[in-house]
Each structure stands twice: as structure tokens, then as C-alpha cells.
A and B are shown apart, each in its own frame.
Chain A
Amino acid sequence: MASKPARPRSPHLFSGPMQLHYRWSPAMTASIVHRATGDGMATIGTLLLVWWLAAIAAGPAAYGVFLDVFTTSTGSLNLLGWIVGVGLTWSVFQHMMSGIRHLVMDTGAAFELKVNQRLALLTFVASTLLTIAFWLFLGNK
């Protein structure tokens, strides 16, 4: 049926070399990051939390193994410690801010385009500021 005109295509995010059919919006970023941070915390975060609790219960030797993975001999964080520490705290704060956004939108509010975009962007600003504040607090103790 080559004579038929081209039908409107169902929207896809990627076509050809990563072409977007939709204009990317902050709400899309907030949505997928909410899922990614949730998945990351549910898997990596859960295993680390359980390891930490089990190590506290098992005793100083087991707890020392846990500490050694994330700290240097001087007691400060090593590279892995920084990546996991900052990554997890940012994930917690981002998922929390994004979750609050979900609770607001569950009431039927913040669906207007401008407000919706601003609220989505605000989750990233808030989570980043909270992460910086948390680590500054730890560093200045």
C-alpha cells in the first residue's frame, strides 16, 4: 500500500541516532531518576545497610572489614567511600524530594506546565543542596 500517506508514528524517545520525538522535560528526568535512585537504594543500598548492621552485630573484626573497604588507614574515606557515600546520600535525598513531589501531585496539584517543570527541577536543586549540607556537617564535626 505505497500510495497511502505516511501515518503519524507512535511516539518514541529514540529514533535513528538518539533522536527524541518528544521535547525532553524536567518531569521525565525526575520520573526516571526517581526509579533509578529507588532501584539503586533497593539493591546496593539494602546490601550495604544489611552488611553494616550484621558487621555491628558480628563484632569489631567484621566491622573493621566493613570500614576497611570504604576508608583509608588514616580513617578518612577512600575513593569508593566517597562514591558510595555521596551516591547513596544523594539518592536518598533525591528520592525523598521526588517522593514529596509525588505526594503533592497525588492531591491533583502541580500539573500546570510551568509549576510542574519548576517542581521537577526543584527536586534536583533541593537534593543536591541537602547532600552538600549533610557532608559539610559531617566534615565540620
Chain B
Amino acid sequence: MGTEIGRVRGLGSAGHGAQHWWHQKLTAGTNFLLIVWLLASIATLPSYDHGTVRLWLHSAWAAIPMALLIASVFYHFRLGLQVVIEDYSHKESRFVLTVLVNVFTLATAGTAIFSILKVAFGATA
């Protein structure tokens, strides 16, 4: 009997702890590959004016890894910021900050992906 939260309380962990750690490690690996690609791409761009940079991002060879980078890096930092909040913040502020981190991550990721797709599917010139 009782409410669901009443039955769950005191029964220990939900059993999902390892998933957070493992996803942080998986995205650390994919981040490494994608960030090395981004640094190498930026370093080898002939110039940094709008036309050059836009033409670079227009190519699928740049747009696809950049979209994957957003997914991998943003998921990784969302997991990381959650740990920081859980370490330093307690009670109500922990809940509020965790929600804000999710909102921040989704809003920035959404803007980034939209921008990449707009350039990738836009006209060449």
C-alpha cells in the first residue's frame, strides 16, 4: 500500500549509476576524435572570412562531423555539469540547476544543429 514514492524510498539506488559513468567515457572517446578533427580543420582553413568558413561548413565532410561533435560534446558536458551540481548543490537548488542545465544543453544544441543544417542545405554561394 501507500504511494509509489513511499514504496521506493529507502530501497537503495535505482541501478542506473553505471550508465552515467559509461556514457561519459564513451563520449570522451568520440569527443577526442571529433575535437582533433575540428582543431585540424580550423588550423588548415586557408582563411577565416565568412565565405571561406561557410563554404567549408557547407560540405557534408564538415557538416556531418560538426553535427556529430555537437551531439557528443554536448551530451558529455551535460553529464559532467550534472556531477558538478550534485557535488556542490543540495535540496531545491540542485533540482532547479539540473533542470536549467538540461534546458541550456537542449537550447544550445538545437541552435547549433539548426545552424549547421541551414548552411549544409543552403545554396552554395
Contact = CB atoms under 8 A, between A and B. Distances in A.
Given A46-B74, A53-B115, A138-B43, A38 B80 contact: yes
Interface in B89-125: 104, 108, 111-112, 114-116, 118-119, 122
Contacts of A56: 50, 53-54, 57, 115, 119
Interface in A34-90: 35, 38-39, 41-42, 46-47, 49-50, 53-54, 56-60, 63-64, 67, 89
Contacts, number: 68
Given A59-B50, A63-B50, A99-B28, A54 B111 contact: yes
19 contacts: A35-B84, A41-B77, A42-B80, A46-B74, A46-B108, A49-B112, A53-B111, A53-B116, A56-B54, A57-B114, A57-B115, A57-B119, A59-B50, A60-B50, A60-B51, A89-B39, A92-B35, A96-B32, A100-B32
Interface SS majority for chain B:
helix
Interface SS majority for chain A:
helix
Interface string A109-136: 0000000000000000000000000100
A103 B43 contact: no
Contacts of A106: 25
B35 to A, nearest CB: 6
Contacts of B115: 50, 53-54, 56-58
Nearest to B119: A57
Nearest to A63: B50
A102 B31 CA distance: 14
A137 interface: yes
Given A35-B84, A38-B77, A99-B31, 7 more contacts: A39-B84, A56-B57, A56-B115, A57-B114, A92-B35, A134-B43, A138-B43
- Interface size bracket, A side: 20 to 34
Nearest to A54: B115
B68 interface: no
B81 interface: yes
